[in-house]
Amino acid sequence: MASHNQATSDLNSNATSTATTTTATATTTTTSANNNSGNSSNSGGNKMTSPLLRPLSPSRCISPRPPSPSSPSIFALNGASVPRSGSPGSNMFLRTNLTGTTRGTAEKRPDGDVGAIQLFTSIQSTDFLNFSINNRTYSQQISAAAAAGTLCAISCSTRFIKNYEVMWMEHLYSFIGGSLGCAEGEKLCMGFEHATELGLPAIVVSRSGGARMQEGTLSLMQMAKVSAAVQAFKAQRLPYISVCLDPTYGGTTASYAMQGDIRISVRQARIGFAGENVILNTVYKMNQEAYDKDCPPGFQSAPFVQQHGQLDILVDDLVQVEEAVGKVLTILNAPRDWHIKAADMIPGENNPPEDYRPDYSKSRRADRVQAQDIIEQLFTNFVELQGDGRIGYDRCIRGGIALLDGCPVMIIATYKGHDAISMQQANFGMATPAGYRTAQRLMYLAEHFGIPVVSLVDTPGAYPSFESEVDGQPEAIASNLTTMAGLRVPFITLMVGEGGSGGALAIAMGDRIAMLSEGYYGVITPEGAVSILCRYANDSEKMAKFQSDCHAMAATQRIYPTDLLELGVIDEIIWERDTDKYNDCPETLSKIKYFIMRSIADASNLSHTELVNERHDKFRNMGRYQKLTAQQQASIPVSPPLVRRVTAVPPKTDPKNELSPDVTRLMRFIADVIVNGPNSLFWTPPPSDITPIEPLHPVNPIPLAQRPKNAKAVLDAEGPDAVSRWILEQNRVFITDTTMRDAHQSLLATRVRTADLLCAAEEASSVLHNAFSFEMWGGATFDVCLRFLHECPWKRLRDLRQKIPNVLFQMLLRGSNAVGYASYPDNVIEKFIQLAAKNGIDVFRIFDCFNDLSQMMLPINTVKACGKIAEVCICFTGNFLSPDERIYTLDYYVDLARRIDAAGAHIIAIKDMAGLFRPQMAEPFMRALRSATRLPIHFHTHNTSSASFTSVVNMAKFGCNIVDLAMASMSDTTSQPSMNAFLATMEGDPRSPPINYLTLEKLDLLWGNIRATYFPFESGLRAGTARVYEHQIPGGQYTNLISQCKSLGIWHRWGEVLDMYRDVNRLFGDIIKVTPSSKCVGDMALFLMSNNMTCADVMKTPIDFPQSVVSLFKGNLGFPHHGFPPELTRIILKGAKPLTVRPGASLPPVDFNALSVELQKKHARPFTEEELISSVFYPKEFDEFVTFTAKFGGDLIMQLPTYTFTFGMKINQTIVVQSLVDSSAPTFRLTLQRIGPLSHENFRTLVFIVNDGQRFETKLKESRSSESTALSPLSSMANPSDPSHIPSPLPGIVDKIYVNIGDKVAKSTVLMSVAAMKMEVQVKAPHDGTVEKICVQVGTKVDNKTLLAQVVELPKAKSSS
């Protein structure tokens, strides 16, 4: 040590001779100590010269090494010989005999006491790097501080605290924020060395921002330098107490501030390694909002740090710091005279009561004595040392240092509580890994200070939780066992109450183990053992036998004190009195005290080696087993037969009770919704206002035979022509209810399921008997049923027809497009209409997106041939009142009406898809139409502008025969106007419909509840917008367009999307926009938006257009009466010729027999005519539907409540699955019993109970976070400067790939297609070339400009000269 202090650098060459003198003295002192300890060695392994053990080896790991024979006694750190415990001078570090001031200069303390002696005052910081920044040098900072009397940021002094002299080292925050530099590191090292020389406790008071940047890497090295000094100091078994003030950060915290044996902090301190700005800049990139959101409450405050196991004691100020330090030193310096105290104690009677009957449940009595009671009533001066010193604090296992009859001990105890609140605060006596690591830390501290450990055990077991397993509960318990096995201080255990499993053993490997008489100690609680080992036929049997089985189990396992004493597990029983209470048990406490004192005294007579060896032998000899003789071993077969598992024959079950395949498939579907559904309540709870949908049944309905004559009765009895005449004869306006089709198509993306329509059907049939029709089929409902709802659209039609036999059913037929998005062969249109009529459709609303009558003639004639009503549409657009209107004039509509009448229509419908028909148009329009036709007029509109309600009222007043309306809760904005409001408004009018609006209230409330269930599909449009008169987007498309924008990531540019839709319509020549032509306009608008292009760019930039746009201009949907712009047609078709005839006439007929054979071969089952026609319209979607229903349960899915279909189920929720149309069909009660945890292979197990008895278990993979359509992290963007790179034209999903690597392709060859929300764009080769690389696969999610493939251009052939 002398050589170290004398070999100083030039920076501290001014050290005073006083320090040298001290060093020389220290050299002599150390030698004396070594000589003394060497004289006391013997072959027995360091017999104690006092009742306590000798000190440990200076270097100690988790598994302690044997002590060095020359290790000095813990009582001989100053070189003095050690008297027996209890004699004068046996204190550990009390040094009141130090006199004189030769070690430094006296300093007056703030409280006026002269007692602090400043040391090493010649050490000063220096600017050895010539550091300068922002025109301020480090030298200037040092000089300014020196002028104020401060040479560096550390002050070292010896002072007295509670009569104990200590080495006090303190940061001076006024000197460059108390930062750690070379001078500071030197003074701290000298302080620890000085404390070692004098045998003083070391106190370091930290207040620092960390290592000093002005001194570069050498400041960083001071962390290592001081840490080495701390370790050398700790090797002498002297106490090191660390104190943290505000702030303590960086290198200070990451070294000596957190290396104290005991750590104290003022409550107001901020403590950490990386400060807020460092975290904010490094991790959060200066995103303050994200930082604030993630920042834990109280982050880096002293209470926060203590809660995370890194601080022992919190105080309010420095005065309390000194009080805490004094209390700790008083305990550690107390006499270790256990022999004398134990010898003076008189043991009380300790006999079992005559009527003793063991009962494990008594250990849990709330009024029984517990570990914390023993600490409070038996020990004094208890100082709790909290946390594991690293990351954890436990509410159950707690401990600290205390005095027992004036002698120091380390207590480790499991806390419980005497009431519900305190029990909960102590985690019901169950420890986490942090608790066991806290116990291990306290064991090491006890060994370090040379004081015995007393463990008080009362726990049902370690805390069984996910967090405990993640944090390493097995490792924490296992580490404690080896620590206790090698601990070189006495370890005394008292089993206070419960001794449950390894959780109790982890702090119970005592040299002596006593047990209170009402406790138990076993491998598991009796209840746990019975739950695992016993089997009960049912819950009733378990309830009747469980408690008695638990007591029998306890007796069988011999977990009671008398058994454990006989088995050698414990050494002593402390018999309690029946009248003992936790606050009144003096005799029991006296016995406990006597046991502990006597046990410590006995163990203290042993050396380190003897103590560890005896503990080893104690536990080594535990256990009972049979040792076979040679003869017995010889009788055992050399190769024992393999034990083969006999497969149990399952008991025969009644076939009536077996679950049908459809039911099991249905539960697999529900399980998939729960685990992987996008709206699953397992992940995100739905809004609280959603209520279960129950069928609405009419109260006292009028029998059908007694109801008044309506249009349905006329059609069925007299035919469609009679219906036309009958309508004209009625002096009233009729209504069509669109709620079951166009209303939810416009508001909820067509997502309303058949199950909910059936819930409303009977009431609608009753209260709307006098309506003209229900529009409930066709349009987008057909493909949505297959694609999203997993139900057959034909079954929807048949089921609703069964529930509503008395009102006309109406569908929307897209002319030659039927219910698809393309033109189809004539035989397909004919077959479809025939099947629709057969299954229940009465009114076919036929339209063509360009009002092309030639496209509608085939449907008109087919409908008439079926004896149904042909309602032919005039699709309305433009503004015939405007003098600027040149295309869609009033004359245009009059001519169209005249030709429709001549074509044989029964009714003319005015189909105002976007709500462009203004209220003031009604009178001139109706007057003009009546000049051309006497057919009934049926008006359809959307209330996007909020003005269409008035348009409907005006049309009714000016002679319109039928108007489309929707139930109030499903009306307005992009839907139809409110039926309820219309009926109320028309009351008293001669043309008022004979329907009271108040009779609709129950049905309207039901529809309100139904709509709430479909909230994920709401567009978000909360009010009307008059801008529709400019952009002209149809109501049914408006909500879809919003969804598409959100999918493409351009929802924030919605206003630009509306502008682009308007501009594309004008670019296309102001066409009529109705499905499917409106989709083409929308596709083009979104395509241009996604590629940041304008309509002007289309005319000059070669692009691959969306496939729907190409099809439109080719004539596959027909042609507008005024044609497409010729130049635009040439650009889009790229040289191809448009059709010159009606599309359907040019298409070959479909061979339905061949299609049937093909589908039967693919799906291994026969198909109906309806299914065949569905396959023609939507081949891909139909195949997926068939596959889905085969996997998940067919028609039963249609019976599933929508809440379950959309959101899944909650644990213990029961649903009823029943048919609403077939009362003879079976009903199933399904209860979700369990959703299992995620396995390492991403599987979950779900358990259902069917009909309150049958158990069904299914296992499926959780794919939410790893969907195949996820954007690949390996996806790269196309390089626009590389002509071989083929970019994605828009964000979407790769739908088809038509080429393979190595293919030779010509320019404009279709390579693949990318789809987004029904919009498909074909990606074509930009040149002749070879496909060198395909970077995606079908289903890959791509962004705009994502690299799809590489096509290397072929070298051009050289021209011959």
Count CB neighbours of 904 within 10 A. 14
Each residue's pLDDT tens digit, 324-365: 999 999 999 999 998 899 988 888 889 998 888 999 999 999
Each residue's pLDDT tens digit, 491-545: 999 999 999 999 999 999 999 999 999 999 999 889 888 988 988 888 888 889 9
- 1044 contacts 1090 by C-beta, under 8 angstroms: no
- What stretch of H or E contains 338? helix 338-344
pLDDT at 955 over 90: yes
pLDDT at 477 over 60: yes
Each residue's pLDDT tens digit, 584-630: 999 999 999 999 999 999 999 999 999 999 999 999 999 998 999 99
Residue with more model confidence, 167 or 347: 167
Each residue's pLDDT tens digit, 1261-1294: 998 654 444 444 446 888 888 999 999 888 888 8
> Please, what is the average pLDDT of the chain?
87
Q: Which residues contact 674 (CB under 8 A, 6 or more apart)?
A: 680, 682, 1208, 1209, 1232, 1235, 1246
The confidence score (pLDDT) of residue 131 equals 94
Using the structure block, give the residue that is written with the tokens 């805390």.
463
Name the pLDDT band for 8 (thresholds 50, 70, 90).
very low
Name the pLDDT band for 993 (thresholds 50, 70, 90).
very high
Spatial separation of the C-alpha atoms in residues 1292 and 1340, rounded to whole Å: 8
The confidence score (pLDDT) of residue 73 equals 30
The confidence score (pLDDT) of residue 640 equals 53
Each residue's pLDDT tens digit, 1008-1060: 999 999 988 887 788 999 999 999 999 878 888 888 888 788 888 999 999 99
- What stretch of H or E contains 457? strand 453-459
Each residue's pLDDT tens digit, 998-1018: 999 999 999 999 999 998 888
The confidence score (pLDDT) of residue 115 equals 60
- 1119 contacts 850 by C-beta, under 8 angstroms: yes
Calculate mean pLDDT across residues 640-648. 51
Spatial separation of the C-alpha atoms in residues 123 and 194, rounded to whole Å: 15
Each residue's pLDDT tens digit, 419-463: 999 999 999 999 999 999 999 999 999 999 999 999 999 999 999
Spatial separation of the C-alpha atoms in residues 1324 and 1309, rounded to whole Å: 5
Triad 1040, 1042, 1047: Cα angle to 5°: 95
pLDDT at 807 over 80: yes
The confidence score (pLDDT) of residue 1359 equals 52
Residue with more model confidence, 820 or 875: 875
pLDDT at 882 over 80: yes
Tokens of 953: 């009222």
pLDDT-above-70 percentage for the chain: 89
Region of poorest pLDDT, from 202-206, 364-368, 1264-1268:
1264-1268
Calculate mean pLDDT across residues 546-573. 93
Each residue's pLDDT tens digit, 96-139: 333 333 344 434 344 434 467 899 999 999 999 999 988 889 99
Residue with more model confidence, 308 or 30: 308
Spatial separation of the C-alpha atoms in residues 813 and 816, rounded to whole Å: 8
pTM of the model: 0.69
Each residue's pLDDT tens digit, 230-243: 999 999 999 999 99
The confidence score (pLDDT) of residue 1275 equals 60
Spatial separation of the C-alpha atoms in residues 1322 and 616, rounded to whole Å: 79
Name the pLDDT band for 1104 (thresholds 50, 70, 90).
confident
Q: Which residues contact 746 (CB under 8 A, 6 or more apart)?
A: 942, 973, 974, 975, 976, 1035, 1036, 1038, 1039
Spatial separation of the C-alpha atoms in residues 363 and 1343, rounded to whole Å: 66
Name the pLDDT band for 1320 (thresholds 50, 70, 90).
confident
In degrees and rounded to multiples of 5, residue 418 shows phi and psi of: -105, 0
pLDDT at 9 over 60: no
Q: How many CA atoms lie within 13 A of 127 on its CB side?
A: 12
Calculate mean pLDDT across residues 1158-1162. 95
The confidence score (pLDDT) of residue 408 equals 96
Residue with more model confidence, 1253 or 1203: 1203
Spatial separation of the C-alpha atoms in residues 194 and 1345, rounded to whole Å: 71
Tokens of 1103: 């692009």
- What sign for the dihedral angle of Cα 590, 595, 596, 598? positive
Count CB neighbours of 28 within 10 A. 11
Q: Which residues contact 285 (CB under 8 A, 6 or more apart)?
A: none
Region of poorest pLDDT, from 640-654, 823-837, 1138-1152:
640-654
The confidence score (pLDDT) of residue 981 equals 97
Region of poorest pLDDT, from 353-357, 687-691, 830-834:
687-691
CA dihedral 138, 141, 147, 152 (to 10 degrees): -80
